Amino acid sequence: MSKMTPRTLSGFMELLPQPQQQMERMMDILRRTYSLYGFTPLDTPVIEASEVLLAKGGGETEKQIYRFQKGDADLALRFDLTVPLAKYVALHYNDLSFPFRRYQIGKVYRGERAQRGRFREFYQADIDIIGDGKLDITNEAEIPAIIYQTFTSLGLKRFQIRVNNRKILNGFYAMLGLTARSGDIMRTVDKLDKIGAEKVRTLLTDEVGVSAESADEILKFIAITGGNEQVLAALESYRGRNEVFDEGLDQLNTVVKYLSAFGVPAENFAVDLTIARGLDYYTGTVYETTLLDHPEIGSVCSGGRYDNLAAYYTDKQLPGVGISIGLTRLFYVLGEQGMLNPGLPTAPADVLILPMTAELAPAVTLATRLRAAGVRTQLYTEQKKFKAKMSYADKLGVPYVVFLGDDEIAGNVVACKDMASGQQTTLPFDETLGLIRRGLDARNAGTVIVEK
pLDDT at 260: 87
The answer to whether residue 28 scores a pLDDT higher than 80 is yes
Q: What pLDDT band is residue 46 in, cutting at 50, 70 and 90?
A: very high
Q: What pLDDT band is residue 222 in, cutting at 50, 70 and 90?
A: confident
For CA atoms 250, 159, 110, 43, the dihedral sign is negative
pLDDT at 59: 59
pLDDT at 60: 63
Average pLDDT of span 420-427? 96
Collapsed DSSP state (helix, strand, coil) of residue 355: strand
pLDDT at 279: 58
65 alpha-carbon distance from chain centroid: 22
Cα angle for residues 22, 24, 25 (degrees, 5° grid): 65
Average pLDDT of span 353-360? 96
The answer to whether residue 57 scores a pLDDT higher than 70 is no
pLDDT at 239: 95
The answer to whether residue 22 scores a pLDDT higher than 60 is yes
CB-based contacts of 444: which residues, under 8 Å, 6+ apart?
344, 345
Q: What is the pLDDT of residues 147-190, one digit of tens each?
A: 999 999 999 999 999 999 999 999 999 999 988 888 888 888 87
pLDDT at 394: 95
Going across the sheet that includes 377-379, the strands are 377-379, 351-355, 400-404, 414-418, 424-427
- What is the rounded distance in angstroms from the CA atom of residue 403 to the CA atom of residue 130? 55
The answer to whether residue 80 scores a pLDDT higher than 80 is yes
pLDDT at 64: 85
Average pLDDT of span 186-195? 82
Q: Answer for the pair 399, 440: CB distance below 8 angstroms, yes or no.
A: yes
Name 324's bridge partners.
126, 302
pTM above 0.85, yes or no: yes
Q: What is the pLDDT of residues 90-125, one digit of tens each?
A: 999 999 999 999 999 999 999 888 777 789 999 999
pLDDT at 111: 87
Q: Classify strands 351-355 and 400-404 as parallel, antiparallel or unpaired.
A: parallel
Least confident of 30-39, 111-120, 286-295: 111-120
The answer to whether residue 277 scores a pLDDT higher than 90 is no
Percentage of the chain beyond pLDDT 90 is 72
- What is the rounded distance in angstroms from the CA atom of residue 286 to the CA atom of residue 166? 7
The answer to whether residue 58 scores a pLDDT higher than 60 is no
pLDDT at 81: 95
Percentage of the chain beyond pLDDT 70 is 98
Nearest to 18 by CA among 395, 330, 378: 395
pLDDT at 181: 85
- What is the rounded distance in angstroms from the CA atom of residue 408 to the CA atom of residue 240? 83
- What is the rounded distance in angstroms from the CA atom of residue 125 to the CA atom of residue 391? 37
- What is the rounded distance in angstroms from the CA atom of residue 415 to the CA atom of residue 408? 7
Q: What pLDDT band is residue 56 in, cutting at 50, 70 and 90?
A: low
Q: What is the pLDDT of residues 369-417, one digit of tens each?
A: 999 999 999 999 999 999 999 999 999 999 999 999 999 999 999 999 9
Q: Answer for the pair 415, 404: CB distance below 8 angstroms, yes or no.
A: yes
pLDDT at 280: 66
Of the segments 48-52, 295-299, 397-401, which one has the largest average pLDDT value? 397-401
pLDDT at 309: 79
pLDDT at 367: 97
The answer to whether residue 237 scores a pLDDT higher than 90 is yes
Q: What pLDDT band is residue 365 in, cutting at 50, 70 and 90?
A: very high
Phi/psi of residue 68, each to 5°?
-155, 160
Q: Kindly report the average pLDDT of the chain as a whole number.
A: 92
Q: What pLDDT band is residue 286 in, cutting at 50, 70 and 90?
A: very high
Least confident of 209-223, 315-329, 348-362, 408-422: 209-223
- What is the rounded distance in angstroms from the CA atom of residue 213 to the CA atom of residue 438? 68
The answer to whether residue 68 scores a pLDDT higher than 80 is yes
One-letter amino acid identity for 421?
Answer: S
